[in-house]
Structure 1
């Protein structure tokens, strides 16, 4: 079994016996132990102390021991699971039994009958909720993400989670975009959202578009999972595949997450335009956003596809959420990195705009060079980027159109916010060009906007400004 099969099968096995799924930290421990990591290494990637990992692991081994009817430890996890020969026959999801090794574990209606004969203390699955088919094989493990909900740093995302849950579960929006710069936490937020709302859906599927697959490939991938027949003979044409998908979304409650959507969008143009070979994704997004059905598609992207900006609204079935930094909750990142001088942390968080990835990178630098002394680091006026942080910004700045590059260079020369009137005076742009450029930069989360005395002012954050000044893009 590969590691994803281990996580999936072990989770199904425990859920069938206890009615509870693994949480993210338990999954991180299973993943790490399966791959031969020490508790200290798992603690590092999960932003937890080694003692906390040991405590959770001890409880996890006891739970698995009860489920497998043999002692499970850190050292024998792999052999214990392999002996069980765990497998799930995917075509039997609708049946009354889940097959695990040589044991048939009853589910659904059979579970309600057995519950009558079990003692009150025996845990059982919650049969009031529909069984959900999950395919998260394409999703990154949540413990590897810098804005991990396992730590307190995710606490500031409570309002964003509540907003998404309300939009998707209560208001039943059909299409939602989670937008923001790389490292801001879009993927982590989506994974955490799945944990909260998955039982409202019959099917949950995650797919990454990082390699810019053609639409026909994505449709084939989705349909093979949703129809639960990998060898099915699918229609060859895109319209027929779209029709088949939309029919399924109308008849069933599905949650589909497409990650890295920016890779199907075009570089060198204003935000939201498609690469020529991916233009037909607009048909998929528009059909899901405009037609009536029972499902929801979530798009994670650096910038919104044009259908999002055209169709979104408070009363519309299309919504968007532009993520900002995690604020003072980012202090948890510093605690896990053992940084000193906590009275200076807020200054650091504000400078790096609460971006979890940026803060993790700079915290590592402070630990390695200044032995964790933030006050000493801040004595130097030059904002530090470093190659690692600059590398995260390069592909995003490199995507800009010539108009946007001209504007961001102009804005980066100013330490303070600039008005539209000032930009028109010395940027050599027409009002139409200026408005288009500012709007596109805003959709890419690359400009900051503030209101002051009935005037709109624009600026770029210190990190972006430093990058542009050090790496001229105009």
Structure 2
């Protein structure tokens, strides 16, 4: 059975029904189904959760069933194709209708056409000589579970592919899933780039060290890439999923309007100017993780450690220079330059990554927790933070045999191992921020900040700066009630302050 033909046929059917082509997850489901792959394995391939893949699959089978007049499921899809022998044909699509074209054969009520009829925007030379992207995920973490972040991924793809945003920050508390969504993003957009590199700043390398490392990788782009080069994470090969067109991975056609790329500049051209030159000569995606490590503790958010101020210049020039590449920052807190650039340029955007909603129930299923009717309460208490929920679920399984009601019966919120995670955030705060946090932790309801609380020994300016800084650290939440803007703390954060700070 020719997988390429099946994918093309399915794409025509989906396009006729929805006006949209198969997306990345739908393609992976069809390909995996033909290869007897489980939803869990497909989810790992596309960096998503099994539940999301299963839901996408369910909708996919419904559409195919309606268009082909057969009850199609994952279990019988291959059998139906083989029995009807339709996978070597193409449907003729006109508008939203399936119509007969020339050289038509009718197989058991399936009207098919032997001509290769393509719906709009289907690449005509998908097997062109365009280069395969070269990818180095050497510093990327190993993540086994991915959750449904469809809305956030859609936003990121729009910024990068449509708006050509040059600098993007993905902000969130530890464990919120910043690295996971960045890995998912790579799988969706990798063929739009010439090269992709992931580096962590966890050891706070000087900017010159980082630039030298980036240039060393980017300068190799001028070399001829071997067929189907593997993605690399350290010394481990990672096989990327195939795009539509069959089991064999083939690069897409050159992007419309794109000229032949000039040779890369010589490696001797170092420093910031050297990096910018490579970003101009090739379309590059650079992901920097753990950016918060280059900022100072004990000061307001986004203030650099002594000797690291040149990172601010680096970020600013990436956003303001003319190029077609993108730098993505993953951080607990927002750099100062980004806050200013967002108001001036569309080339700089920030995604605040909040907690999971119902998709977080996958965590409790995996941990084997009981009393599913109580799970939403857990998600709300810990604001859907994947790492926090994993930590709490493990404790419930170990201490209460999976009974959520017994865990929730305690008068105060149980933190357990979360205390260490929260401590990492609080040791970075300035004195003024700590005062504001103390005040918020003692407030029963959300509060306004139109006036400085009388009990705080801060000037109005210091108070507002502290609130703004805490927002940039994702430590306080903004709640909109009608025309009123209110602020509050997440329950776990408030409990930590009451237990360890007050």
* Same-fold call, TM cutoff 0.5: yes
Equivalent positions of 1:420-431 (< 5 A) are 420=449, 423-431=452-460
Q: Cα deviations across residues 290-342 of structure 1 (Å, max 9, x unaligned)?
A: 11101000000000111111101596100000110011110010001111111
d(CA) in 2 for partners of 1:190, 1:361: 22
Residue in structure 1 matching 2:315, options 285, 288, 292? 285
d(CA) in 2 for partners of 1:194, 1:269: 34
Residue in structure 2 matching 1:212, options 195, 204, 218? 204
SS at match of 1:324: coil
SS at match of 2:384: coil
- Cα pair 1:28 1:141 within 8 Å, conserved: no
> How far 1:449 moved relative to its partner?
1.6
- Cα pair 2:39 2:50 within 8 Å, conserved: no
Q: Cα deviations across residues 204-245 of structure 1 (Å, max 9, x unaligned)?
A: 000000000000100010000110199x99559xxx521111
Residue 293 (structure 2) aligns with: 263
Residue 412 (structure 1) aligns with: 441
- Cα pair 1:175 1:296 within 8 Å, conserved: yes
Residue 395 (structure 2) aligns with: 365
> How far 1:381 moved relative to its partner?
2.1
Residue in structure 2 matching 1:199, options 166, 191, 196? 191
- Taking a change above 3 Å as real, the CA distance of residues 284 and 367 of structure 1, as seen in their structure-2 partners, is same
Equivalent positions of 1:246-395 (< 5 A) are 246-313=276-343, 316-386=346-416, 388-395=417-424
SS at match of 2:454: helix
- Taking a change above 3 Å as real, the CA distance of residues 24 and 289 of structure 1, as seen in their structure-2 partners, is farther
d(CA) in 1 for partners of 2:394, 2:132: 43
Q: Cα deviations across residues 100-151 of structure 1 (Å, max 9, x unaligned)?
A: xxxxxxxxxxxxxxxxxxxxxxxx99547641000111111121xxxx32xx
| RMSD (Å) for aligned C-alpha atoms | 3.0
Residue 162 (structure 2) aligns with: 170
d(CA) in 2 for partners of 1:307, 1:402: 23
SS at match of 1:277: coil
Residue 443 (structure 1) aligns with: 472
SS at match of 1:211: coil
> How far 1:170 moved relative to its partner?
1.1
d(CA) in 1 for partners of 2:490, 2:346: 31
SS at match of 1:228: helix
> How far 1:378 moved relative to its partner?
1.2
Residue 488 (structure 2) aligns with: 459
d(CA) in 1 for partners of 2:328, 2:132: 21
d(CA) in 2 for partners of 1:251, 1:261: 26
d(CA) in 1 for partners of 2:306, 2:336: 14
> How far 1:248 moved relative to its partner?
1.0
- Cα pair 1:47 1:333 within 8 Å, conserved: no
SS at match of 2:324: coil
The size of the alignment, in residue pairs, is 352
> How far 1:259 moved relative to its partner?
0.3
d(CA) in 1 for partners of 2:319, 2:42: 34
d(CA) in 2 for partners of 1:158, 1:47: 11
d(CA) in 1 for partners of 2:324, 2:183: 21
Residue 117 (structure 1) aligns with: none
d(CA) in 2 for partners of 1:159, 1:272: 27
SS at match of 1:434: helix
Query: With structure 2 as the length reference, what TM-score do the two structures score?
Result: 0.65
SS at match of 1:278: coil
- Cα pair 1:424 1:430 within 8 Å, conserved: no
Residue 73 (structure 2) aligns with: none
Residue 260 (structure 2) aligns with: none
Q: Rg larger in 1 or in 2?
A: 2
- Cα pair 2:219 2:267 within 8 Å, conserved: no
